[in-house]
Amino acid sequence: MLSEDQQDTAEKPPAASGDVHVGRDGWLFLTGGRNRVLEQYGRPGFSRKALWQWRCHLAERVRRSARLGAAYLHVVAPEKLTIYYDAVDGLAFDPQRAPALRLRRWLRGSTGARASVDLVGPMRAARWKAPLYRRTDSHWTFAGGELAYRTLLAGLGVAPRDDIAGRRQGEALPFTGDLGTKLAPMPVETAEACRFDSRARRIHANGLLTHFEALGRPLDAHIGAHAVFRNDDPAADPRRLVLFGDSYAQHRAMNATASLTPFLADTFREVHFLWSTSLDWDYLAEIRPDFVISEIAERFMIDLPVSNMRIESLARLALARKADA
């Protein structure tokens, strides 16, 4: 299933931690943590109340976006457990009870159903053609990010850029991801470059972002980060897109893992990224985008969004918490 250069591991097999399961061929899976990932696949697992609340949230988002003249889509970034369930080995869980799949079933017949983008089906179908997730990380490879990007654009009815893969920059390097760092010894894999040349340029960054960039700690800017990208490429779609998301959307171009924002910023004239799983309706009313997208990691679905959120209030709160840490 894996090529030779994807089977690099430390000489001593890593020992599983309380939060990470070591599967077949060195595939690592997040099972614990604050979100108790594995429990979400059990019974009762992800609660019916939460599923109903998500159904109501998405219906509201579709209606409010339409009133602003924007098309709305919601996408769940699946857990590796959901996609590579056949490489788990040694864990008793039902992949068909994945929260992302249960949400889609609960959305049937609702206003939000047409806004829900399915990544589970396409990713399960393609999972062994090329690795879609880093083996030691919870995030996507370039192939995984590109598949998510193409699936999302199909939902918008927008043609993807077909030349992105040919513009990739950098060389494959040894890498230990966020799951691998929880193990001892830390396993190492070869990660191909995910960055690519693009005419998209950042034209705005909020105080949270610039604060941590000035400290040389850009990766510390998470929830509350806000960036805007402009692309003057004549081939770019002239419309404006606002993306609310988390690390699977990510405002920074990462080298070892892929995320949605760089792909979308390469495609549209203007992309606004807000690191939040709640929507800032005041901001949307001001910006008046053509498209609104919300992305959320499957494991974070148990933290329900609020009905309205101001991104700068969230940024100030995040900065205050980090200052007190």
pLDDT tens, residue by residue, 252-285: 888 899 999 999 999 999 999 999 999 999 999 9
Q: How confident is the model at residue 292 (pLDDT cuts 50, 70, 90)?
A: very high
Tens of pLDDT, residues 246-260: 999 999 888 899 999
- State how many domains the chain has: 1
Return the beta strands (E) in 145-248 as ranges: 173-175, 189-191, 200-205, 226-231, 237-245
- Look at residues 242, 244, 317 and name the one whose alpha carbon lies nearest to residue 279: 244
Mean pLDDT of the region 191-215: 96
Across 285-305, average pLDDT: 97
Q: Which of 190, 209, 166, 197 is nearest to 256 (CA)?
A: 190
pLDDT per residue as tens digits for the range 221-248: 999 999 999 999 999 999 999 999 999 9
Angle between helices 142-156 and 260-267 (to 10 degrees): 50
**Average pLDDT over all residues of the chain:** 93
Indicate the helix (H) or strand (E) that contains 62.
helix 48-67
> Within 13 Å of residue 113, how many CA atoms lie on the same side as its CB?
9
Q: Give the number of C-alpha atoms closer than 13 A to the C-alpha of residue 297, restricted to the C-beta side.
A: 20
Q: How far apart are CA 117 and CA 123, in angstroms?
A: 12
| Average pLDDT of the segment spanning 42-66 | 96
Q: What is the CA radius of gyration of the chain?
A: 19
pTM of the model: 0.93
Specify whether the backbone of 86 is left (phi greater than 0), alpha (psi in -120 to 50) or beta. Answer: alpha
Domain that holds residue 18: 4-324
Cα–Cα dist 210/319, whole Å: 11
